[in-house]
Amino acid sequence: MFDVNNVLTPMCTVEESYKKKSISKKAFNPDLPEYLLKAGKTLGLPFSKNGIPLNFSDKPYDNHYGIVEVYENFITIYGENEEAARLALGYLDQLYLIYDGKIPCSAFFFEKPVSGYRGFHLDCCRHFFTVNEIKRLLKTFSVFGFNIFHWHLTDDQGWRFSVPGYPKLKSIASKRASVDYKDGRMYGGFYENDDLRAVVKYASDLGITVIPEIETPGHAVALLAAYPEFGCTGNKIEVETSYGIFEDVMNPASEKLWKFLDKAVAKLASIFPGPYIHIGGDECPHVQWENHPECRAIMEQEGLKDTMELQGWFTSKMARLVANYGKRAMGWDEVVDAPEIDKSVIVMSWRGLNGAIKATSRGHNVILCPEAGGGCYFDRYYTSDDWEPGNLSLSPLKNVFDLDFSMEELPEDCQKLIMGGQGNMWTEVLRSGRAIEYMYFPRALALAENLWLGKNRDWKSFEKRRMALYKVLIGLDMTFSTARWVD
């Protein structure tokens, strides 16, 4: 039997006032607000008219953010707002899975998460993942208190959604030649409008905001394979079958490109109700811009000294375009390599923490997801053991747990600009839902603990919950790694 004091993640306070008792039935008869009822059904909680009463109150006592109070013949969830109530429901789901429905009678108290932004990212371009696979992930991440899904929808190896008037996005940009067979087979995938809406609705029912990403101005080979007139050369190229950084990028001076981008952003804004659209901005070579007459003309017209300033101009124009549709732009930290960009852009600091330092000093909000040292790239190896799957570098679970998301070395006014963090999943070497599950979990749970508790996290406590974590993941039908947590 699991010790009730060491089972839930993120950690909460437990009051064992009803020892040796558990709930009398393995099902719940819910008397809940509609949004909680939807969340519970989406999580798969066993609701039945014959179950024990499951009640809700929006008035937690003793100033706690939320409480799950379990008695033998009823359960009450307390939450001061919708987020708190959904978090409490996630805790209840964990308890149900850990104790096989025989939840011990206790009161579980939790406080408001330190980080408002608690995200996970999935690249569906290098390899394609179905709506069902994404739903499985959304369900699991919601149980552990994540509230953001960053959906990477375009890259060199594939474009995954439609834009009215541009049919080649599906017929050409969504697929590439298979590298596994030499018989002309193609690999790819495409999300129809109903697919996008299904993911948004499922996520919304769980209290998760979906942030779509369209890569600009680099990582655009798939788009240029379909519409070469959006690039600098106009040459016919193929959707990439390999991985890396490629010189074929968008032409900032192309009016046709900007007409397309306007329609693409309009499409995303119409389907994704959240406040953000990610515009990429990373790893964009400027080789084709250097001597391109149209690019040089834009630079002269706008008074731009070099191509780095040209990329800054591009970023700012994209940010304004996004704002036209009531959204706020996000970009990878290369966007602040330019000396100035639109102040509204939120910066994702992935190349270590220097991007966060530079961005906050210039007044930008920041999301932390550092690859180097921070461990937030979950496609990396768990350990240095030669039997572990992964790519490029190490990301031990302990590194994720230890990362300081508050960045105390920054001035206080800059610290306030940090919104939170996320774990990124790039899929160059990951082809299946089961493969990405293994790389996410349990690393993502260390991230959940960190983002929720901040300075109050405790490594020894987290270690004590290892087997309970595994039990929850098994109950959710997740594949996970049992690799050691410290390398």
Q: Per the residue annotation, which of 219, 278, 292, 364 is the catalytic one?
A: 219
The tokens for 216 are 């600009």
Active site residue 195: no
| Side-chain-side CA neighbours of residue 421 (13 Å) | 33
Q: What gap in Å lies between CA 310 and CA 308, rounded to an integer?
A: 5
Answer yes or no: are the C-beta atoms of 139 and 476 closer than 8 Å: yes
Q: What gap in Å lies between CA 471 and CA 469, rounded to an integer?
A: 5
* Backbone conformation region of residue 168, classed left if phi is above 0, alpha if psi is from -120 to 50, else beta: alpha
Local structure of 418: helix, strand or coil: strand
Q: Per the residue annotation, which of 93, 123, 155, 379 is the catalytic one?
A: 155
Answer yes or no: are the C-beta atoms of 219 and 156 closer than 8 Å: yes
- 244: DSSP letter: S
**Exposure string over 235-273, b if 16+ CB within 10 A, otherwise e:** eeeebbeeeeebebbbbbbbeebbebbeebbebbbebbe
Answer yes or no: are the C-beta atoms of 420 and 451 closer than 8 Å: yes
Active site residue 294: no
Q: What gap in Å lies between CA 189 and CA 181, rounded to an integer?
A: 17
Q: What DSSP line would sit under 28-73, residue for residue?
A: EEEE--HHHHHHHHHHT--B-TTSEEEEEES--STT-SEEEEE-SS
Active site residue 155: yes
Over its C-alpha atoms, the chain yields an Rg (Å, rounded) of 23
| Side-chain-side CA neighbours of residue 291 (13 Å) | 0
The tokens for 221 are 């080979």
Answer yes or no: are the C-beta atoms of 40 and 89 closer than 8 Å: yes
C-alpha triplet 237, 240, 241: angle, nearest 5°? 135
Q: Per the residue annotation, which of 80, 282, 283, 337 is the catalytic one?
A: 283
Q: What gap in Å lies between CA 127 and CA 138, rounded to an integer?
A: 18
- Report which residue type is found at 223: L
Contacts 24+ apart (CB under 8 A), 480-483: 480/437, 480/438, 480/440, 480/441, 480/442, 481/382, 481/388, 481/438, 481/439, 481/441, 481/442, 481/443, 483/382, 483/383, 483/385, 483/388, 483/397
Answer yes or no: are the C-beta atoms of 152 and 120 closer than 8 Å: no
| Side-chain-side CA neighbours of residue 275 (13 Å) | 5
Q: What gap in Å lies between CA 127 and CA 256, rounded to an integer?
A: 29
Residues with catalytic annotation? 155, 219, 283
